[in-house]
Amino acid sequence: MNGVDGVKAAVVLFVAAILQVSIFTQVHVLGGVPDLLLVMLVAVALLRGSMFGAIGGFFAGLLVDTATLGQLGLTSLVLTIAGYWIGRYGETTGRDRAHAPFLSVAVVTFLYSFGLLLVHFVLGERAPAGSVTRGLLPAIVLNLILTAPVYALVRRLLRPLDRGDYATEVQLLG
Protein backbone atom coordinates (compact mmCIF):
# COMPACT_ATOMS: atom_id res chain seq x y z
CA MET A 1 0.00 0.00 0.00
CA ASN A 2 1.38 3.39 -0.87
CA GLY A 3 0.40 6.92 -1.83
CA VAL A 4 0.06 5.99 -5.50
CA ASP A 5 -2.67 3.49 -4.61
CA GLY A 6 -4.42 6.22 -2.66
CA VAL A 7 -4.36 8.54 -5.65
CA LYS A 8 -5.60 5.80 -7.98
CA ALA A 9 -8.43 4.90 -5.59
CA ALA A 10 -9.36 8.58 -5.21
CA VAL A 11 -9.48 9.05 -9.00
CA VAL A 12 -11.67 5.99 -9.67
CA LEU A 13 -14.05 6.91 -6.85
CA PHE A 14 -14.23 10.53 -8.04
CA VAL A 15 -15.04 9.45 -11.61
CA ALA A 16 -17.59 6.92 -10.32
CA ALA A 17 -19.29 9.57 -8.14
CA ILE A 18 -19.56 12.01 -11.06
CA LEU A 19 -20.89 9.31 -13.40
CA GLN A 20 -23.35 8.16 -10.74
CA VAL A 21 -24.96 11.56 -10.13
CA SER A 22 -24.99 12.68 -13.76
CA ILE A 23 -25.66 9.50 -15.75
CA PHE A 24 -26.46 6.35 -13.79
CA THR A 25 -29.30 7.90 -11.78
CA GLN A 26 -31.22 8.26 -15.06
CA VAL A 27 -31.07 4.54 -15.80
CA HIS A 28 -34.24 3.00 -14.41
CA VAL A 29 -34.83 -0.69 -15.08
CA LEU A 30 -37.95 -2.19 -13.49
CA GLY A 31 -37.75 0.38 -10.68
CA GLY A 32 -34.09 -0.31 -9.94
CA VAL A 33 -31.15 2.03 -10.46
CA PRO A 34 -27.57 0.75 -10.89
CA ASP A 35 -25.10 2.15 -8.38
CA LEU A 36 -21.68 2.39 -10.01
CA LEU A 37 -20.22 4.24 -7.05
CA LEU A 38 -21.19 1.51 -4.58
CA VAL A 39 -19.78 -1.23 -6.82
CA MET A 40 -16.55 0.74 -7.29
CA LEU A 41 -16.25 1.28 -3.53
CA VAL A 42 -16.76 -2.43 -2.91
CA ALA A 43 -14.01 -3.26 -5.42
CA VAL A 44 -11.57 -0.75 -3.86
CA ALA A 45 -12.38 -1.91 -0.31
CA LEU A 46 -11.97 -5.60 -1.20
CA LEU A 47 -8.60 -4.98 -2.86
CA ARG A 48 -7.18 -2.44 -0.41
CA GLY A 49 -8.85 -3.15 2.91
CA SER A 50 -10.95 -1.42 5.53
CA MET A 51 -8.97 1.86 5.81
CA PHE A 52 -9.25 2.54 2.08
CA GLY A 53 -12.89 1.43 2.18
CA ALA A 54 -13.84 3.74 5.04
CA ILE A 55 -11.90 6.79 3.82
CA GLY A 56 -13.01 6.19 0.20
CA GLY A 57 -16.64 5.82 1.31
CA PHE A 58 -16.50 9.02 3.35
CA PHE A 59 -15.10 11.18 0.55
CA ALA A 60 -17.21 9.55 -2.19
CA GLY A 61 -20.33 10.25 -0.11
CA LEU A 62 -19.18 13.81 0.46
CA LEU A 63 -18.79 14.27 -3.30
CA VAL A 64 -22.29 12.96 -3.97
CA ASP A 65 -23.87 15.16 -1.30
CA THR A 66 -21.94 18.20 -2.55
CA ALA A 67 -22.75 17.66 -6.23
CA THR A 68 -26.47 17.22 -5.56
CA LEU A 69 -26.62 19.99 -2.90
CA GLY A 70 -28.04 17.34 -0.59
CA GLN A 71 -27.58 17.00 3.16
CA LEU A 72 -23.84 16.81 3.77
CA GLY A 73 -22.74 13.73 5.67
CA LEU A 74 -25.79 11.60 4.90
CA THR A 75 -24.33 9.51 2.08
CA SER A 76 -20.87 9.72 3.68
CA LEU A 77 -22.10 8.08 6.87
CA VAL A 78 -23.60 5.06 5.13
CA LEU A 79 -20.76 4.64 2.59
CA THR A 80 -18.08 4.92 5.30
CA ILE A 81 -19.59 2.02 7.23
CA ALA A 82 -20.20 0.03 4.02
CA GLY A 83 -16.59 0.58 2.85
CA TYR A 84 -15.13 -0.36 6.22
CA TRP A 85 -17.24 -3.48 6.55
CA ILE A 86 -16.43 -4.74 3.03
CA GLY A 87 -12.78 -3.90 3.59
CA ARG A 88 -12.73 -6.08 6.71
CA TYR A 89 -14.38 -8.89 4.76
CA GLY A 90 -11.73 -8.51 2.03
CA GLU A 91 -8.92 -8.57 4.60
CA THR A 92 -10.19 -11.70 6.30
CA THR A 93 -12.57 -14.35 4.97
CA GLY A 94 -13.17 -12.78 1.56
CA ARG A 95 -9.55 -12.74 0.36
CA ASP A 96 -8.71 -14.85 -2.71
CA ARG A 97 -12.32 -15.93 -3.13
CA ALA A 98 -13.75 -15.51 -6.62
CA HIS A 99 -17.29 -14.99 -5.39
CA ALA A 100 -16.32 -12.30 -2.85
CA PRO A 101 -17.04 -9.25 -5.10
CA PHE A 102 -20.46 -10.58 -6.13
CA LEU A 103 -21.46 -11.58 -2.61
CA SER A 104 -20.22 -8.25 -1.26
CA VAL A 105 -22.09 -6.20 -3.88
CA ALA A 106 -25.36 -8.09 -3.30
CA VAL A 107 -25.15 -7.76 0.48
CA VAL A 108 -23.95 -4.16 0.47
CA THR A 109 -26.66 -3.06 -2.00
CA PHE A 110 -29.23 -4.47 0.42
CA LEU A 111 -27.62 -2.96 3.52
CA TYR A 112 -26.89 0.39 1.83
CA SER A 113 -30.53 0.80 0.72
CA PHE A 114 -31.87 0.05 4.17
CA GLY A 115 -29.07 2.05 5.81
CA LEU A 116 -30.13 5.14 3.86
CA LEU A 117 -33.75 4.39 4.69
CA LEU A 118 -32.88 4.21 8.38
CA VAL A 119 -30.94 7.50 8.37
CA HIS A 120 -33.81 9.27 6.58
CA PHE A 121 -36.27 7.78 9.07
CA VAL A 122 -34.15 8.87 12.06
CA LEU A 123 -33.94 12.40 10.62
CA GLY A 124 -37.72 12.50 10.40
CA GLU A 125 -37.69 12.68 6.62
CA ARG A 126 -39.71 10.65 4.15
CA ALA A 127 -38.62 7.01 4.31
CA PRO A 128 -40.54 5.09 1.62
CA ALA A 129 -39.79 1.50 2.65
CA GLY A 130 -42.21 0.07 0.04
CA SER A 131 -40.59 1.92 -2.82
CA VAL A 132 -37.07 1.00 -1.67
CA THR A 133 -38.05 -2.66 -1.29
CA ARG A 134 -39.65 -2.78 -4.76
CA GLY A 135 -36.53 -1.40 -6.41
CA LEU A 136 -34.12 -3.52 -4.39
CA LEU A 137 -34.06 -6.73 -6.42
CA PRO A 138 -33.59 -5.00 -9.82
CA ALA A 139 -30.90 -2.80 -8.21
CA ILE A 140 -29.04 -5.87 -6.90
CA VAL A 141 -29.22 -7.51 -10.34
CA LEU A 142 -27.99 -4.33 -12.09
CA ASN A 143 -25.14 -3.93 -9.60
CA LEU A 144 -24.15 -7.57 -10.04
CA ILE A 145 -23.99 -7.00 -13.82
CA LEU A 146 -21.62 -4.09 -13.18
CA THR A 147 -19.51 -6.03 -10.71
CA ALA A 148 -17.37 -8.14 -13.09
CA PRO A 149 -16.16 -5.31 -15.37
CA VAL A 150 -15.74 -2.83 -12.52
CA TYR A 151 -13.84 -5.29 -10.33
CA ALA A 152 -11.60 -6.28 -13.27
CA LEU A 153 -10.84 -2.60 -13.97
CA VAL A 154 -10.06 -1.78 -10.34
CA ARG A 155 -7.97 -4.95 -10.03
CA ARG A 156 -5.85 -3.78 -12.97
CA LEU A 157 -5.34 -0.42 -11.31
CA LEU A 158 -4.83 -1.69 -7.76
CA ARG A 159 -2.93 -4.96 -7.82
CA PRO A 160 -3.96 -7.43 -5.07
CA LEU A 161 -1.85 -7.15 -1.93
CA ASP A 162 0.72 -9.65 -0.76
CA ARG A 163 -0.30 -11.87 2.12
CA GLY A 164 1.89 -9.90 4.54
CA ASP A 165 -0.03 -6.69 3.83
CA TYR A 166 -3.34 -8.08 5.03
CA ALA A 167 -4.67 -7.76 8.56
CA THR A 168 -2.94 -9.94 11.07
CA GLU A 169 -5.59 -9.86 13.74
CA VAL A 170 -7.61 -12.64 12.15
CA GLN A 171 -5.94 -15.99 11.56
CA LEU A 172 -7.23 -17.95 8.57
CA LEU A 173 -7.66 -21.69 8.89
CA GLY A 174 -6.92 -24.00 6.00
Partner 1 sequence: MVRRGVLAVLVIGALALLTISFRSPTSGALHDVQGYGASALRPFEVAAQRVARPFRDAYGYFDGLAHAKSENAKLRSEVRQWRTQATQYEAQAGKTQDLEKLLRVERGAKYPTDFRFVNTSVISFPLGAFAQQITIAAGSDQGLRINTPIIDGDGLLGHVVVVGPTTASVQLITDPDSNVPARDVTNGVRGLIRHGAGNTLLFDNVPKEQTVQKGDVIVTQGTVDRRYPDLYPFGIGIGRVLQVGTSDIASYLTVQVMPFARFDSLDSVAALISTKQR
**Contact residues for partner 1, defined by CB under 8 A:** 18-19, 21-23, 25-26, 28, 33, 49-51, 54-55, 57-58, 61-74, 76-77, 80-81, 84, 113, 116, 119-120, 123, 125-128, 131-132, 135
CA dihedral over 30, 34, 39, 41, signed as positive or negative: negative
Per-residue DSSP letter, 165: G
How far apart CA 81 and CA 79 sit, in angstroms, is 5
CA distances from 95 to 29, 50, 143 (A): 32, 13, 20
Residue nearer to partner 1 on the CB measure, 29 or 98 = 29
* CB 54, min distance to partner 1, A: 5
* CB 126, min distance to partner 1, A: 6
Residue nearer to partner 1 on the CB measure, 98 or 142 = 142
How far apart CA 16 and CA 119 sit, in angstroms, is 23
* CB 154, min distance to partner 1, A: 19
